[in-house]
Amino acid sequence: MKIRRILPIVRKEFLQIWRDKRSFTVLLLFPGILIFVIGYALNFDVKHISMAVFDRDKSSTSRGFIRNFSNTEYFDINYVVNDYSSIDELLNRGDARVALIIPEDFSGAILAGKETSVQVLVDGSNANTATTAIAYIQVIIQTYSTNLVMNVLKRAGREFYMPIDLRPKIWYNPELSTAKFLIPGLIGFILMISAVISTSLSVVREKERGTMEQMMVSSLTTLEIIIGKTVSYLIIALAASAFVLIVGFLAFDIAIRGSILWLYVGIMIFLIGGLGQGLLISTITNTQQVAFLVSVFSSLLPTFLLSGFVFPIRSMPLFLQVLTNITPAKFFLVVVRSEILKGTGPSAYWDQLIYMAIFSAIMIGFSAVRLLKKAK
C-alpha cells in the first residue's frame, strides 16, 4: 500500500464528482440550502396564533380582558364575531385556531365579585401547537384573576403577592430557537448522505460500468482502491460538515461551545461507520438503483426518524424506542448537541462514543470481510 498510488484514485474521484454536475449540486450545495431553509423558514415556535373573539358582554371590562390576549405576541385577534356559527366556520376552515367566548354577564360578575367562566375553544388538530396555546391561555387568565384579587385586597388595606414567582431559566438555547435544535441533527443527516449514499453509489457505479474490473486488474490492490475511494468521500463529508458549522455560526450565531477537537473526534467515528456501511452496501448490491434504495432505507430514513433529530425518542412507543438503538445517528446527536450547544466535555457522552465506535468497527469489519472474499 502506497500513498503515491492512492492519490490518483482520490483525484479521479474528485474529477468525476466535479463533472457530474447534478451529484455535485446535491453533495455540496444541498447542505447549504437545507441549513438556510431550516434556519430561516422552519420552526416550531408557537406565536401569533390566530384567534377569534365573540364578546357577548361588550363592556369596557370585557374589552380590558381581551386586551390581555392581544397584548401578547402569542395571540393575534384576527376575527371579532357576533354569533356561534361564525366561530364554527372559522375553526372548521382553519382560519382561527382559538376562539374566546365571553358570556353576557361577564362585567356584571366581575364587578359584583362573583365567579364567572369564559369559554375557550381550541383547534386540537395540531396537538403540539394546541398544548402550548392552552398553557398560554391558562396563564393569561389566571394572571388576570390574581390581579383582580390583589386589587380587592389592596382596597381592603391588605397586602397580597403572587405566592409564587416562577423564574424559568433556559440553558443552552435561551431563545428556544428551532434552528439551534435542528442544526446538530442536520450535520448527522448530511454526513449520512455523503458517506453512505455517495460511497455505495460510486462503488456500484464502477461495478455497473465495468471500470471496477479494470481497476482490479491494474497493479492496484483492493485495499488501495477502497482507501482511495473512501478517503475522497471522507474529505467531502468533512468539508460539508465544516461548511454547515461555518454557515451556522455566521448566519445563525451558533457557536461551538465545547471543543472543536472533540467534536471532530465524534464526527470521525461516526463517519467511519457511515463509510463502512456504504462499502458494505456496495458489496451486496449490483445496481445503483438498489444501492440507492438500500442506503436510503438503512441510513437516511432512520437518521431522520429514529435519531431524535426532529421527533423526541421519549415519545415513541417502547418497541420503537428499542429500535432507535440501531441507528448510530442517535448517539452522534448526543455528542454533537453536547459539544455545540452545551459545551460539555467527553465525560458527558463517552458512552455514546463507545456505542458509535462499536457500530463503526462492525461495519468496517463486515465490509472488509466481504471485500476480501470478493477479491479472491
Partner 1 sequence: MRQIYHIIIKEFLHLRRDRKMLAISILAPVIQLILLGYAATTDVKDIPMLVLDQDKSSVSREFINLFVNSGYFVLTQQVNSPDKIDQYIEDGEVWIALVIPSDFSANMLAGRQTIVQLIADGSDANSANIGIGYASQIIATYSRSLMRTIETQTRGRLTFAHVNPEVRVWYNPELKSRNFMVPGVLALVLMIITMTLTSLGIVKEKEIGTLEQLMVTPIKSYQLIIGKLLPFVIIAAVDILLVITVAYWWFGIPLRGSFFLLLGLSGLFVLTTLGLGLFVSTVSKTQQQAMMTAQFFFFMPFIFFSGFTFPIENMPQVIQYITYAIPLRYYIVIVRGLFLKGVGIAELWTQAAALLAFGVVILTLSVLRFKKKLS
Q: How far apart are CA 268 and CA 362, in angstroms?
A: 15
| Smaller CB separation from partner 1, 218 or 321 | 321
Q: Which residues of 33-50 are buried (b: 16+ CB within 10 A; e: fewer)?
A: ebbeebbeeeeeebeebb
Q: In whole angstroms, give the CA distance from residue 321 to residue 342.
A: 24
Query: From the CB of 151, what's the least distance to partner 1, in Å?
Result: 9
Q: Does the footprint of partner 1 cover residue 18 (CB under 8 A)?
A: no
SS3 for 58? coil
Asked whether position 19 contacts partner 1 by CB under 8 A, the answer is no
- Cα–Cα distance for residue pair 230/228, rounded to 1 Å: 6
Q: What is the distance of C-alpha 365 from the center of its chain?
A: 31
Q: Is 3 in the site for partner 1 (CB under 8 A)?
A: no
Q: Is 358 in the site for partner 1 (CB under 8 A)?
A: no
Give the residues across from 54 on adjacent strands: 81, 101
| Site for partner 1, residues 86 to 105, rule: CB under 8 A | 89, 91-94
**Is 218:325 a contact under the CB 8 Å cutoff?**
no
168 vs 166: CA distance, rounded Å: 6
Stretch that binds partner 1, among 224-232, 275-283, 301-309, 355-363 (CB under 8 A): 301-309
Answer for which of 16, 72, 173, 222 binds partner 1 (CB under 8 A) is: 173
Give the DSSP H or E segment for 51: strand 49-55
Span interacting with partner 1, options 4-12, 48-56, 233-241, 365-373, rule CB under 8 A? 48-56
To partner 1, the closest distance from the beta carbon of 195 in angstroms equals 17
Selected from 16, 72, 86, 178, the binder of partner 1 by CB under 8 A is: 178
Strand ordering across the sheet containing 75-81: 75-81, 49-55, 98-102
Site for partner 1 in 103-162 (CB under 8 A): 109-132, 134-139, 141-146, 148-149, 152-153, 156, 159-162
CB neighbourhood size of 375 (10 A): 12
User: Minimum distance between the CB of residue 47 and partner 1, rounded to whole angstroms?
Assistant: 7
Does 338 bind partner 1 (CB under 8 A)? Our answer is: yes
Q: Residue 16 interacts with partner 1 (CB under 8 A)?
A: no
Under the binding rule (CB under 8 A), the answer on residue 169 touching partner 1 is: yes
Q: State which residue, 301 or 372, has the beta carbon closest to partner 1.
A: 301
Is 72 a binder of partner 1 (CB under 8 A)?
A: no
- Residues numbered 209-248 forming contacts with partner 1, rule: CB under 8 A: none
The reply to whether 77 sits near partner 1 by the rule CB under 8 A is no
Q: Which stretch binds partner 1 (CB under 8 A): 175-183, 224-232, 269-277, 365-373?
A: 175-183
Residues in the chain: 376
Decide: is 288 part of the binding site for partner 1 (CB under 8 A).
yes
CA gap 43, 132 in Å, rounded: 14
Cβ-Cβ contacts under 8 Å for 274 (sequence gap 6 or more):
191, 192, 195, 196, 199, 237, 299, 328, 363
DSSP state, residue 348? G
Q: Measured from the CB of residue 259, what is the shortest distance to partner 1 in angstroms?
A: 14
28 part of the interface to partner 1, by CB under 8 A: no
Minimal distance, residue 307 CB to partner 1, in Å: 10
User: Cα-flanking dihedrals φ and ψ of residue 333, to 5°?
Assistant: -60, -40
- Report, in Å, the least distance between residue 214 CB and partner 1: 21
The piece of 7-15, 38-46, 216-224, 246-254 that touches partner 1 (CB under 8 A) is 38-46
